[in-house]
Amino acid sequence: MGPRDAHKRLLIQQIYRAESMQRIVEAQSCECATRYPPWDAAEAEYRDRYATGEYWDIVEATSESRRLANELRKVAKPICEAARNW
């Protein structure tokens, strides 16, 4: 992606972050493979849901993904701290 597509990269990063926090919470584990999975799922979600979206759709989706990740972080962080992986 070029510099004009930075908003798209940011969305993919936030999707990845939210998915990571979700996996930690669901697994009640903070192993590296859980916390840092391959990017494939986040990239696929972006392609399936947002690839043809307009700029403001992408910005809104980024905000939603960030909000979700921040909410999940509250639960995931203690799990990761207990595993010394924060």
Joined tokens for residue 62: 């980024």
Conformational region of residue 5, where left means phi above 0, alpha means psi within -120 to 50, and beta covers everything else: alpha
Extents of the domains making up the chain: 25-43+55-86
Amino acid 6: pLDDT: 87
Amino acid 75: pLDDT: 98
Integer angstrom CA distances of residue 78 from 1, 24, 34, 81 = 35, 10, 15, 5
Contact 83, 30 (CB under 8 A): yes
pLDDT band at 29 (very low <50, low <70, confident <90, very high): very high
Mean pLDDT (the chain, rounded): 94
**pTM of the model as a whole:** 0.91
Joined tokens for residue 16: 């990845």
